[in-house]
């Protein structure tokens, strides 16, 4: 099949689509298997049916339709639409569509027999490996690559013309760009002295996992887009530690493995403080600020593959023993890589505790769209003034915590009220058991 027609578009301009969605129907004009490409995507469908459904192979947005419903005589390989990714600027879609349409017209006028003229400029020295790195392009001189492949190539300064595509009909996909090695580097590596190679190999490159890539992307977005501010306070943990000791003696008599941690008290106190100051239990959603009625507490857990935040649902309605059991079970599933999406997606407030590593103070990055994250440091003995004591001072166990807040949703006064409520619950832990 050399050309086809557009039966109808199933998506409108500006509408989003996901992998597997039907974008349009095309009509075959011959009995050979049909194949139409959408510019800037890796969408391709092959079949023997007269009318063909074209499905999306990536998520994206239909920015501009070039070939409208009922269009006929559309050449295979011609651009029929402009697609983009979430967050892309769509203001230039019309210009891109016009440019793509003109390029398609230009390529149609180039006669096919003119291709044998390409070997003519093969006069350069055969030692140059540039010939081997040329991709197998579909038609003409246009380069077909997925949007993410073009984005990575732009960020890394990789010329797409030198990348060999492994996708359908030589289309360049993400892995092709990530695995690209400059031909010059390959050619000169043989001339590097063995001693220099040994010195340069004194490191290990670890491929980035999907989880690590997601963590990096979300935290970078949070730090760049969210107006963070920080509030720090020291909390007297003497009563919590004494109460924990009493509870653990009682619990271990029934079950030796059942022990409350300081973090269990922190989770409960956070939930109670969110009930007192619900403005902190919120999320910025662009057009609205959503305030949650329940405290779903995300607890940061370090795993071999990266950080993940399983959720203790509705922590305010649960007792310390229940919170302790759920937190331990979720942490184990997280380390074993067995968490279900519902168990780590959708929290309303996050706790990150590095106190067990001896860190006395740090600031954490907000987990969007949440408004707050609490960074918990170690509990350490500290001398404080005590006029009632004969010596005039005493030693208390002080825990430093830092609240990171999104200033768009939580003003400084609101953050201060929440910190005061949280501190009050931990310094008088019996109050959240009433």
Active site residues: 407, 411
CA dist 220 and 367 (Å) reads 10
Is 210 within 8 Å of 174 (Cβ atoms)? no
What would the two tokens of residue 210 be? Answer: 């999907």
What would the two tokens of residue 20 be? Answer: 């597997």
For residue 420, the SS3 value is helix
Which residues make Cβ contacts (< 8 Å) with residue 268, sequence separation at least 6? 315, 316, 318, 320, 323, 425, 432
**Tokens 């797409």 label which residue?**
160
Is 40 within 8 Å of 82 (Cβ atoms)? yes
Cis peptide before 369 (omega within 30 of 0): yes
Q: Count CB neighbours of 59 within 10 A.
A: 15
Which residues make Cβ contacts (< 8 Å) with residue 93, sequence separation at least 6? 63, 64, 82, 84
Candidates 268, 368, 360; CA nearest to 320 is: 268
CA dist 291 and 270 (Å) reads 16
What would the two tokens of residue 354 be? Answer: 């590095």
Is 323 within 8 Å of 232 (Cβ atoms)? no
Q: Count CB neighbours of 166 within 10 A.
A: 14
Under DSSP, the state recorded for 132 is T
For residue 407, the SS3 value is coil
Helices vs. strands in the chain: H and E counts, helices first: 10, 17
Candidates 263, 213, 247; CA nearest to 399 is: 263
Under DSSP, the state recorded for 167 is S
CA dist 80 and 381 (Å) reads 70
CA dist 156 and 239 (Å) reads 55
**Tokens 């907000």 label which residue?**
366
User: Side-chain half-sphere of 7: how many Cα atoms within 13 Å?
Assistant: 15
């Amino acid at each position: 099949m050399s050309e086809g027609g557009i039966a109808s578009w199933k998506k409108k301009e500006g509408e989003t689509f996901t992998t597997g969605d039907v974008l349009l129907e095309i009509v075959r004009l011959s009995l050979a298997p049909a194949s139409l490409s959408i510019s800037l995507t890796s969408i391709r469908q092959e079949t023997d049916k007269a009318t063909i459904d074209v499905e999306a192979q990536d998520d994206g947005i239909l920015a501009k339709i070039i070939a409208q419903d009922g269009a006929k005589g559309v050449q295979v390989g011609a651009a029929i639409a402009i697609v983009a990714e979430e967050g892309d600027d769509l203001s230039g879609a019309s210009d891109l569509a016009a440019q793509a349409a003109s390029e398609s017209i230009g390529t149609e006028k180039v006669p096919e027999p003119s291709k044998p003229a390409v070997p003519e400029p093969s006069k350069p020295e055969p030692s140059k490996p540039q010939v081997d790195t040329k991709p197998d392009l579909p038609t003409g001189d246009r380069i077909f690559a997925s949007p993410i492949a073009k984005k990575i190539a732009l960020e890394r300064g990789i010329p797409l013309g030198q990348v060999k595509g492994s996708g359908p009909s030589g289309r360049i996909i993400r892995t092709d760009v990530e695995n690209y090695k400059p031909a010059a580097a390959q050619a000169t590596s043989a001339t590097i002295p063995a001693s220099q190679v040994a010195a340069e190999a004194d490191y290990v490159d670890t491929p980035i996992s999907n989880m690590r890539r997601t963590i990096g992307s979300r935290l970078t977005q949070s730090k760049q887009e969210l107006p963070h501010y920080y509030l720090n306070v020291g909390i007297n943990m003497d009563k919590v530690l004494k109460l924990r000791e009493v509870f653990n003696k009682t619990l271990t008599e029934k079950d030796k493995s059942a022990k409350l941690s300081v973090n269990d008290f922190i989770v409960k106190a956070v939930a109670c403080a969110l009930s007192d100051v619900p403005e902190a239990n919120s999320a910025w959603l662009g057009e609205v600020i959503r305030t949650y009625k329940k405290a779903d507490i995300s607890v940061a857990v370090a795993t071999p593959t990266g950080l993940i935040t399983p959720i203790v649902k509705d922590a305010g309605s649960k007792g310390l023993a229940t919170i302790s059991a759920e937190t331990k079970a979720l942490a184990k599933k997280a380390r074993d890589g067995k968490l279900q999406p519902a168990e780590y997606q959708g929290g309303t407030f996050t706790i990150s505790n590095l106190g067990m590593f001896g860190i006395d103070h740090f600031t954490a990055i907000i987990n969007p769209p949440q408004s707050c994250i609490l960074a918990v440091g170690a509990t350490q003995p500290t001398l404080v003034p005590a006029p009632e004591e004969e010596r005039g001072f005493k030693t208390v166990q002080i825990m430093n915590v830092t609240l990171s807040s999104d200033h768009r949703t939580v003003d400084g006064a609101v953050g201060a009220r929440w910190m005061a409520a949280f501190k009050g619950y931990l310094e008088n832990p019996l109050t959240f058991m009433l």
